[in-house]
Amino acid sequence: MGLVVALLQLNPTVGDLAGNAAEVERAVALAAANGADLAITSELVISGYPPRDLLRDPEFIQQCADVTAAIETPIPLIVGTPLPPTSDRHLPGNGSMRIVPGRKAKVATRKQLLPTYDVFDELRYFEPDKAPGILRLSENLSIGVTICEDAWQHAGEVPADYDADPIEQLAAWQHQGEPLALSVNLSSSPYHLHKEGTRGDVVRAAAKTLGHPYLLCNQIGGNDDLLFDGRSLAAWPDGRMIQAPSWCAGVLLVDIEDGDGDAARWLPWPDGKCCTECNCKVECVGVGSEPSVPESGVDLLAAITTGLGDYCRKSGIKKLVLGMSGGLDSSVCAAIAVRAVGAKNVLGLSMPSRYSSDHSIADAEATAKALGMELHTHSITALHQAAEAELNDELVDGNPVARENIQSRLRGMMVMAAANSRGAMAVTTGNKSELAMGYCTLYGDMVGGYAPIGDLYKSEVYDVARALNREAERFGETPPITESTLTKPPSAELAPDQTDQDTLPPYETLDAILHAHIENGASKSTLIASDFDETLVNWILERLNANEHKRWQMAPAPRVSNRAFGQGWRQPLAAKK
Amino acid sequence: MGLVVALLQLNPTVGDLAGNAAEVERAVALAAANGADLAITSELVISGYPPRDLLRDPEFIQQCADVTAAIETPIPLIVGTPLPPTSDRHLPGNGSMRIVPGRKAKVATRKQLLPTYDVFDELRYFEPDKAPGILRLSENLSIGVTICEDAWQHAGEVPADYDADPIEQLAAWQHQGEPLALSVNLSSSPYHLHKEGTRGDVVRAAAKTLGHPYLLCNQIGGNDDLLFDGRSLAAWPDGRMIQAPSWCAGVLLVDIEDGDGDAARWLPWPDGKCCTECNCKVECVGVGSEPSVPESGVDLLAAITTGLGDYCRKSGIKKLVLGMSGGLDSSVCAAIAVRAVGAKNVLGLSMPSRYSSDHSIADAEATAKALGMELHTHSITALHQAAEAELNDELVDGNPVARENIQSRLRGMMVMAAANSRGAMAVTTGNKSELAMGYCTLYGDMVGGYAPIGDLYKSEVYDVARALNREAERFGETPPITESTLTKPPSAELAPDQTDQDTLPPYETLDAILHAHIENGASKSTLIASDFDETLVNWILERLNANEHKRWQMAPAPRVSNRAFGQGWRQPLAAKK
């Protein structure tokens, strides 16, 4: 049996330094009790990632370093933490400290490559280091230490151009006669669908170049508008790889001399939630040359459940309220809300109008019943009539969309009244396809502090709905999304016999074009060359740009940078006066 | 008479490359016709500043360079523009091109110091240059060229630490025997109150170090959430300085060998708006060792008028709608709206409830009349009753604030209905003090695409109101803000006999504490040591943090970085379904 390294895959809360340090202490104790010789955390585990503006406060940085230095551990431990600047003219470091029992805590390394694109803004907060991350743990044991991005340029997986390549630096160091037993990477690598493949390429490229095992510890959970899926990794130079479970906290023990996986053990976190797939059994550790690839709907369901659940737990939100129309989006959001805070803490409002169909009301009721949550019915008819009477002069010769929006805004007012009254947060139910097209009402169906499916295209919402139903069937429960909800044409029901497709192209086509443009950066000419209809491409991009234009004011920006998986548009929480 | 340099102080629109280039051509023609030998623009005048995500599009960058190279000019001209990257692994440059009649346009310089703090994110978009900006215009004329931040580190006016000091580089270059006649600085230096003093320190420090004149050309106008005040500058090594007018486009002609200002001329832009203070007479060019310091209310009035006016003009918004309660905030916003788009394009809504006082309605009417704008009255009483009846079960045992919010949200719905119906943008009327304290209703009085006074503390709103009234008096018009509005205790009128001070501390105290904390970064202990009451400081900071916490989700961030003068919180424009 060789050196056993523990990857502490935890779920830190941004700003909760004492709580995060306590989690690290519990995890390293568990690792040591199970035979680990050395443990590493994820990137910035003490502050939680991303700490953003907190990093502008020198007192906060010092507190991070102090809390880290005070961590108690029975085995050597490398902890990711913000570090005080090296001079008063410099920014803090994104680094790590080495905690060895019986010795004084010491700064180990600082991150060299600071991503400043997409969801990252690290040059805003940190000073880049220039030295390779070599850590001598004992007379006979030196290891390489890198932090997240440090390893990505080497695999050609970054859009930036850095002067340094920390993996090559470690390789050069080895060639100069300093043997490294292994290298580690402290990561806070945000989730997007299918990212596990890219992350696997990164660790394998590093292991191959270095000629020794390369171990990556990733954070899990939701912080601010980012999600982290875990899936910590160990790779060997010959391409073998082990992957920890997704979406759950725990400790992965890796025997670095035994790369066939027999010695890899997953210790689930005692009071942590389990991932959807595996119930945290040891078997879920994928062994082999390819990381396990989950079915999309299942992975997205775990992702958005984690996002809303962590948002509520970490923000102190106990109760949720949402409007339920019987349509796909609000039905799926209700199911996610129930998974996030429990059925007894979720209130749905059915708010029929003169244009609501019977099946809409029945579908909402069936979903609420299947989920075991409360559903209150409040008609908007009387308010709608009163509003049209009072505002007749404003509306009579105007844009007819103003009348449609009134209904949506009265519903928004009702959702907020119920939420404010009971101290709950409203959840808004829009999906990425309709938000991108502006097919939604500002201050209407857009009210809410959190958009659980705001970063899912409509077709992905169907995938999640089916995953929810399959899961219910597996446990012998009633599938929450009714057959009618899954099969009827989507409609806002703000005018007689209205359907989404009166205004929008079929979602299958819309989503394909939006995905190519937003996620992959395909330009208009590329899209047209890809056999999409030119008129349709022009219509969609014009509407998208007009909507971006509205959202981001006057810059006619062509797209949102949104390749990493955010939790939808960042919206203020349910403010009370 | 020596070399005459023209500073083209223009108001570019982000993304309007052809329009911006045409403005440069017109301005340089005017300068040449008035005897200029050389002209310079502000920073990134071709793309407009800040171009933000547009810079991620390689086609956009190439278009900027192409449009710049095609500019026609009768005299040598230095134009600020994004520049294509020097290799496909690099980011674009924030640079300048040299356009000389009869010669091929050529890249002149690239910015070295890229601010990435506060409102700046330039390392996200640009590659920093490492070479000093020397430009040889003819056999006998070489000048130094710097771009905005390049000059600020030298004066000790940046929070960042850069490896290079471009002013020292130019000085070293001179010492090596290359004489520079002058140096210039292409700036997009955002406005905040009293920034003219700091900017003056920067140009004087550079002129002193370099031993030759230092000329700074700044942009004016509003772009996205930033405002630019112009006030281009020329400084001589002995401390003499000339400042161009604020808030208006035009050309400042500077004879660099005649630093007593006799040869400085201001050519106002033919169809540009004039600044409030000076009507663009030549006299407004401040000559002497100190830049002219305007009265705060007057300067802020010009700033927020420019902001809303440019926002509307550049976004294609012709009409505005806002709720008018007769209180200070909405009355001032109405006056700003009228200045921005004209009285006939502004609609006010008076929306009384059972709690509205008679003087509120009368004050709103008097203000609308003085401004010459339309005011429609729509009572919320019937809707309020219908809402309370329908929602009684939700409200009966709940937080009473939910009832107050209903009124505000019904008003928000009405404002949006009127705005959507006529294709107008809603203006939201909150000030920075109440927004910081969360003393406002999300989706209620916060609805609107633009917050004209969202970055003004309540006490500054009073300053602006008095400046508005003084200006009206000067022109023999009725002061728009009534005496009653100026003197009555502020109230939201959402409950019987309610005043702001039932909930908040006196604005004088609140504003002093908020200003010290938000603008100057004073910590809690600093505030208490400054003789503010400890209980009050704790109360305010807790409420501020809780509100930030809500706004920015879970990070308990202590403050908004808001030292530069933004146009209030960035909100989506009046979206239509």
C-alpha R_g of chain B: 25
Predicted confidence at residue A550, as pLDDT, reads 43
Among B169, B163, B18, B21, residue whose Cα is nearest residue B99: B21
Cβ separation of B401 and A576 shorter than 8 Å?
yes
Cβ separation of B402 and A413 shorter than 8 Å?
no
Predicted confidence at residue B1, as pLDDT, reads 67
Most confident stretch, A295-309, A443-457, B360-374? B360-374
- Of A153-162, B32-41, B142-151, B390-399, the poorest mean pLDDT is in A153-162
Candidates B403, B441, B553, B567: best to mutate against A (most CBs of A within 10 A) is B553
Among B172, B298, B303, B125, residue whose Cα is nearest residue B225: B303
Cα A454 from Cα A308, distance rounded (Å) = 11
- Of A22-31, A247-256, B461-470, B478-487, the poorest mean pLDDT is in A247-256
Predicted confidence at residue B118, as pLDDT, reads 85
Cα B241 from Cα B291, distance rounded (Å) = 7
The pLDDT tens digits of the residues spanning A144-202 come to 999 999 999 999 888 778 889 999 999 998 888 778 999 999 999 999 888 888 899 99
Q: Is A289 on the interface with B (CB under 8 A)?
A: no
Predicted confidence at residue B562, as pLDDT, reads 26
Cα A537 from Cα A531, distance rounded (Å) = 10
Give B560's contacts in chain A (Cβ within 8 Å).
53
Smallest CA–CA separation between B388 and chain A, in Å? 10
Mean pLDDT of chain A: 87
Question: Per the structure block, which two tokens stand in for B326?
Answer: 């007769």
Cα B419 from Cα B146, distance rounded (Å) = 45
Among B479, B482, B454, B450, residue whose Cα is nearest residue B467: B479
Task: Judge whether A343 and A373 are in contact, CB under 8 Å.
Answer: yes
**Within a 10 A sphere around the Cβ of B238, how many other Cβ atoms?**
11
Cβ separation of A401 and B551 shorter than 8 Å?
no
Mean pLDDT of chain B: 87
ipTM for the predicted complex comes to 0.91
The pLDDT tens digits of the residues spanning A126-139 come to 999 998 899 998 88
Shortest CB distance from A447 goes to which of B53, B443, B573?
B443
Cβ separation of B422 and A399 shorter than 8 Å?
yes
Sign of the alpha-carbon dihedral angle for A255, A257, A258, A260: positive
Among A60, A13, A44, residue whose Cα is nearest residue A148: A44
Shortest CB distance from B15 goes to which of A14, A556, A573?
A556
Residue B424 has pLDDT above 80, yes or no: yes
Per-residue pLDDT band at B553 (split at 50, 70, 90): very low
Residue B344 has pLDDT above 80, yes or no: yes
Please tell me which residue of chain A has the smallest CA distance to B158.
A89
Active-site pick, B64, B122, B148, B312: B148
* Three-state SS sequence of B73-85: CCCCEEEEEEECC
Smallest CA–CA separation between A178 and chain B, in Å? 32
Mean pLDDT over residues B252-274, rounded?
72
Q: Is A163 on the interface with B (CB under 8 A)?
A: no
Percent of residues, chain B, with pLDDT higher than 90: 63
Cβ separation of B386 and A390 shorter than 8 Å?
no
CA A403 to chain centre: 37
Q: Is B438 on the interface with A (CB under 8 A)?
A: yes
Q: Is A418 on the interface with B (CB under 8 A)?
A: yes
Q: Is B543 on the interface with A (CB under 8 A)?
A: no
Q: Is B118 on the interface with A (CB under 8 A)?
A: no
Task: Judge whether A250 and A267 are in contact, CB under 8 Å.
Answer: yes
Give A550's contacts in chain B (Cβ within 8 Å).
449, 572-575
Smallest CA–CA separation between A156 and chain B, in Å? 11
Mean pLDDT over residues B215-238, rounded?
92
Cα B264 from Cα B252, distance rounded (Å) = 7
Predicted confidence at residue A276, as pLDDT, reads 42
Mean pLDDT over residues B204-212, rounded?
96
Residue A281 has pLDDT above 60, yes or no: no
Cβ separation of A572 and B442 shorter than 8 Å?
yes
Predicted confidence at residue B563, as pLDDT, reads 26
Residue A490 has pLDDT above 90, yes or no: no
Per-residue pLDDT band at B140 (split at 50, 70, 90): confident
Cα A75 from Cα A31, distance rounded (Å) = 9
Give B502's contacts in chain A (Cβ within 8 Å).
none
3-state secondary structure of A423: coil
Shortest CB distance from A378 goes to which of B90, B391, B408?
B391
Give A494's contacts in chain B (Cβ within 8 Å).
577
Task: Judge whether B12 and B25 are in contact, CB under 8 Å.
Answer: no
Cβ separation of A577 and B387 shorter than 8 Å?
no
Predicted confidence at residue B461, as pLDDT, reads 96
Smallest CA–CA separation between A419 and chain B, in Å? 8
Among B149, B144, B180, residue whose Cα is nearest residue B44: B149
Mean pLDDT over residues A393-404, rounded?
93
Most confident stretch, B73-77, B400-404, B443-447? B73-77
More confident residue, B287 or B304: B304
DSSP letter for B305, please.
H
Give B404's contacts in chain A (Cβ within 8 Å).
577
Cβ separation of B53 and A443 shorter than 8 Å?
no
- Of A484-498, A513-527, A537-551, the poorest mean pLDDT is in A537-551
Among A40, A204, A199, A187, residue whose Cα is nearest residue A120: A187
* Residues 6 or more apart in contact with residue A153 via CB below 8 angstroms: A113, A160, A162, A165, A167
Which residues of A form the catalytic set? 43, 111, 148
The pLDDT tens digits of the residues spanning B473-493 come to 998 999 999 999 999 988 888
Q: Which residue has the tokens 């006490």?
A: B459
Cβ separation of A547 and B421 shorter than 8 Å?
no
CA B47 to chain centre: 17
Give A561's contacts in chain B (Cβ within 8 Å).
53, 56
Question: Per the structure block, which two tokens stand in for B521?
Answer: 């970064």
The pLDDT tens digits of the residues spanning A312-355 come to 998 889 999 999 999 999 999 999 999 999 999 999 999 998 88
Active site annotation includes B111 = yes
Give A223's contacts in chain B (Cβ within 8 Å).
554-555
Predicted confidence at residue B294, as pLDDT, reads 76
